[in-house]
Amino acid sequence: MGVRGWLKFLTEYDSPKYIRMQSVTWGFVKCLLYVTVALSVCCIVIIYRLYEETDEVNSSVRTNVKGVAYTNDRIWDTAEYTIPMQAVNSFFVMTNIIKTENQFEQRCPEYPFGKAICSSDKSCEKGSVNIHSHGIQTGRCVNYNATVKTCEVKAWCPVESMEKPPEPAVLRSSEDFTVLIKNNIYFPKFNYTILNVPANLNSSCTYNKITSPLCPIFRLGDILQEAKENFSEVAVKGGIIAIEINWDCNLDSFYDCNPKYGFRRLDDKKIQPGFHFRYARYYKLPNGKEQRTLFKVYGIRFDVLVFGTGRKFNGVELIKNIGSMISYFGLVATAIEIAICLCNCSRCSKSPFYKIYNRKKYETLLNPRQVMFVSYVDEPHVTLIKKPLKTSLQHAQGSIVESHPVKFYDAGSCCTSQSNENLDNEEYELGRPLRQGAFSPDCQKWCCCGNCQPTEKYHEQLCCRRTEGPCITTSHWFLQLVLSSHTLRKALLYEDPFLNLTDGNINNQLRHLAYKQYVHWRFGSFDLEDRAVIPSCCRWKIRDTYPKAGNDYTGFKME
């Protein structure tokens, strides 16, 4: 695109053209759809709160477990049963324990599980380690007790017995322990911080879903109950429980920012439930030997999960969201277009309304190389003939097109009510295929007026009329409008006031202008003017009046 192209592009705007249909049905459908879309948009905005700006929560959690128990002749306080966890936002409460005391690093018989049981030294392989072993085999088979022999191992002895955890759980009374959860949250977008501990907290409160839903002190038994679990059952093998804190904060004038607590079990109840791990306490004896006590502890790990959203009304957000939904209104037009299309394909297409609609809506662009237009003096319309011609142009089949001659016919043959009726019919029947054999059989081959010149070329075999009768060249108007030297000269001077009319070449200009005059008269002005074919009789009459030196006429250009 050159500078001119860009300039044109910058100084122009193309506005789409619409077809307005006068139709109660479609008008009603349109209104209905617009109202539906408008209501849907409103509902979506309200339900999904699209008028608010949102921000995700940032949070930190601190926990504080309290409670003392007395079992197995031992006092269990916080330091005993809460073992620090590696995980973030988690705390652990021990509920059950298997203790193996006074272990030394030496040789002893392995615990009698399947592969460790032996009958002689041959069954034990020196240096081998099994996945369940407590140590490295020495290759000897020794007595575990009076009845069972097992392979000897180098390990922390005596080895831990692989028995099931005690039932009921040692620390089942930890059900009454409480935990205080402090949860700070922050919404960076709104620069807003809040703590889940109310300012006027009654420090002796305990969380209850109904009576005190905002109290941040939880009884462990209640947590398990809310998670629909039985504490004494879970206490045996342990488990993992999620404490969910959900903040849904409205920071507008209707201020509402309180946490909601939820509880559920995270480890699978059916497939290998429980949570346990081991740790040891080491001692150095006066003789320098190291001794340890091994603990296998079972307990409940509590994971505190914080999530939530802060919301605040924001006009820009509302406009942005509504803007993005305005495109839904475009769906209305698309839906109606599709419905009309379907209607067009079905039986409705026969109704005159849709015929006019189709004509107004779709403009067919013709390829000028493939068409010719002809007009007969005894027919009130222009006929479109498509190439290639297989017979004379006079006999070629074509279709009627809406064009100027309709108006011309209206003005020319004037004023009778009959012609008006014809006109109306014509309007509805435009585009129908032309009846074949409409020409008179009396016509000589293809000429009906008797003035046409014989020619071999199909596209030149065209007469001024379809039925036998007087030639148009003999009419008064042909002489006046097309042939009259006076009229043509006037028209030439009108275009170029200083034209030299005495010039020897003036005949060529007059002849071409006469062709043009004929086309305007009989076809009217339209896009493909140069595809209008002038009948042979007229063409030769014009040529004879304004001849060309040498008589080599170009004729109608086929390409």
- CB of residue 340 to Zn ion, shortest distance in Å: 46
Nearer CB in complex with Zn ion: 249/537: 537
Query: What's the rounded Cα separation, in Å, for the pair 9 and 4?
Result: 8
Secondary structure letter of residue 376 according to DSSP: -
Nearer CB in complex with Zn ion: 70/477: 477
Nearer CB in complex with Zn ion: 97/463: 463
- CB of residue 472 to Zn ion, shortest distance in Å: 5
- The residues, ordered by sequence, that sit 6+ positions from 149 with a Cβ below 8 Å of its Cβ are 109, 117, 118, 119, 141, 142, 143
Residue 152: enclosing H or E segment and its boundaries?
A: strand 149-157
Nearer CB in complex with Zn ion: 172/541: 541
Evaluated on CA atoms 329, 333, 336, 342, the torsion sign reads negative
| Binds Zn ion (CB under 5 A): choice among 96, 150, 451, 517 | 451
Options 233-241, 263-271, 274-282, 469-477: segment touching Zn ion (CB under 5 A)? 469-477
Nearer CB in complex with Zn ion: 151/463: 463
Query: What's the rounded Cα separation, in Å, for the pair 350 and 463?
Result: 35
| Binds Zn ion (CB under 5 A): choice among 155, 234, 340, 449 | 449
First to last CA, the chain: 29
Nearer CB in complex with Zn ion: 80/468: 468
Angle between helix axes 404-413 and 506-523 (nearest 10 degrees) is 80
- CB of residue 473 to Zn ion, shortest distance in Å: 6
| Binds Zn ion (CB under 5 A): choice among 124, 217, 401, 452 | 452
Using only C-alpha atoms, the chain has a radius of gyration, in whole angstroms, of 52
Options 42-50, 285-293, 441-449, 509-517: segment touching Zn ion (CB under 5 A)? 441-449
- CA dihedral in degrees (391, 395, 396, 402; nearest 10)? 160
Bridge partner residues of 96 (DSSP): 298
Query: What's the rounded Cα separation, in Å, for the pair 19 and 320?
Result: 31
Options 12-20, 149-157, 414-422, 455-463: segment touching Zn ion (CB under 5 A)? 455-463
Tell me what percent of the chain is helix, strand and coil, each rounded to the nearest 5.
35, 25, 40
Cβ(429)–Cβ(400) below 8 Å: yes
Number of Cβ atoms within 10 Å of the Cβ of 125 = 13
| Binds Zn ion (CB under 5 A): choice among 69, 118, 240, 464 | 464
Cβ(308)–Cβ(57) below 8 Å: yes
Nearer CB in complex with Zn ion: 234/464: 464
| Binds Zn ion (CB under 5 A): choice among 447, 482, 510, 513 | 447
Residue type, 403: S
- 463 near Zn ion (CB under 5 A): yes
The contact mask relative to Zn ion for 269-308 (x = CB under 5 A, - = no) is ----------------------------------------
Nearer CB in complex with Zn ion: 218/478: 478
Nearer CB in complex with Zn ion: 157/537: 537
- 97 near Zn ion (CB under 5 A): no
Nearer CB in complex with Zn ion: 217/377: 377
- CB of residue 447 to Zn ion, shortest distance in Å: 3
- What is residue 185's three-state secondary structure? strand
Tokens of 356: 């006019």
Angle between helix axes 485-495 and 506-523 (nearest 10 degrees) is 100
Angle between helix axes 536-545 and 506-523 (nearest 10 degrees) is 150
- CB of residue 450 to Zn ion, shortest distance in Å: 6
Residue type, 488: L
Options 76-84, 186-194, 412-420, 447-455: segment touching Zn ion (CB under 5 A)? 447-455
| Binds Zn ion (CB under 5 A): choice among 65, 235, 249, 471 | 471
- CB of residue 481 to Zn ion, shortest distance in Å: 15
- CB of residue 442 to Zn ion, shortest distance in Å: 12
Evaluated on CA atoms 448, 451, 455, 458, the torsion sign reads negative
Options 127-135, 223-231, 254-262, 444-452: segment touching Zn ion (CB under 5 A)? 444-452
Options 35-43, 51-59, 379-387, 450-458: segment touching Zn ion (CB under 5 A)? 450-458
Query: What's the rounded Cα separation, in Å, for the pair 373 and 386?
Result: 9
- CB of residue 457 to Zn ion, shortest distance in Å: 15
Residues that bind Zn ion (CB under 5 A): 447, 449, 451-452, 463-464, 471, 537
